[in-house]
Amino acid sequence: MPSHYQCTPDEIMLDEGREEHEKDEKPIAPLFLLTTTILIRRMFASIVSIVCSTIVFSVLSLNSNAAFDTKQIYTNPLSHGFGEDIDWVKWEDAVEMAMEVNKPIFLLIHKSWCHACKALKKTFQQSNARKAFKTLSKYFVMVNTEDDEEPYEEEYKPDGKYIPRVLFLDKNGDLLSQFKNKKAEYKNYAYYYSSPADILNSMKDVMRYYNIDVPEMKKGPKLKPNKPVDDEDDKPLKDESTNESTKNKKQKSSKSDL
């Protein structure tokens, strides 16, 4: 038997084929790992992108909310055009809040169709009046009711249902009847105001009554009330129900004269 075994040509070809086969199989595992790694990296990149997008969206949302807060003066649904930067509250919540914060109540009653109410809104566009009104409003629970929001109790119609009218109430919701428009243009409408200056003066009277001092109001020029204008828009209006009752009374009186 020979000391060294020599491979036959067939065995040599078999070995070479095996080597070639092994060469073909070796890259499979690294290729799989490479593909998996690429997929994992892409998934990680997608996750990071989603997280970053979420963070950016949150920051933008906070900024938009902050921007909304600064623009709330233009979107306050309770303002009805009488100062969107005022902390208006619903009439239903006014007494409870007034008792909680121990403040008197400012109650403005008006109608959306009222020409005198619209005229009063326009006068409040004066910059000096707006600033003073904003300052004094902090010492009241501010309410303004429009149309059907008006309180139905007779107490809040002390001398009629005309509009607009401004009433001052204590924290229990009771009328402070002594605080009227001292410069009322119409004798029978003591709570009617056509000038922001007169409203501010009444607010100050109420504050003096409660010993409330406002240092910032001691500075600056005094507001002058608007001059009376012979215009239908500047006259107080009555509700239709009041007008009907007046007509009925006149008809009865005319019949009695006959």
What confidence score (pLDDT) does residue 256 get? Answer: 44
User: What are the pLDDT tens digits along the chain (258 aa)?
Assistant: 455 555 555 555 555 555 555 555 555 556 666 677 777 777 767 777 777 667 766 656 555 454 444 444 456 888 888 888 899 999 999 999 999 999 999 999 999 999 999 999 988 877 678 889 999 999 999 999 999 999 999 999 999 999 999 999 999 999 999 999 988 677 789 999 999 999 999 999 999 999 998 776 665 555 555 444 444 455 677 665 444 444 454 454 444 444
Please name the amino acid found at residue 158: P
Residue ranges with strand state E in 173-246:
none
Q: Which two tokens stand for residue 151?
A: 């309180």
Kindly give the pairing relationship between strand 141-146 and strand 105-110: parallel
CATH architecture of the domain formed by 91-240? 3-Layer(aba) Sandwich (3.40)
Report the Cα 106 to chain-centroid distance in Å.
19
Domain boundaries, the chain: 91-240
Tokens 């109410």 correspond to 117
Q: Are 141 and 98 in contact (CB under 8 A)?
A: yes
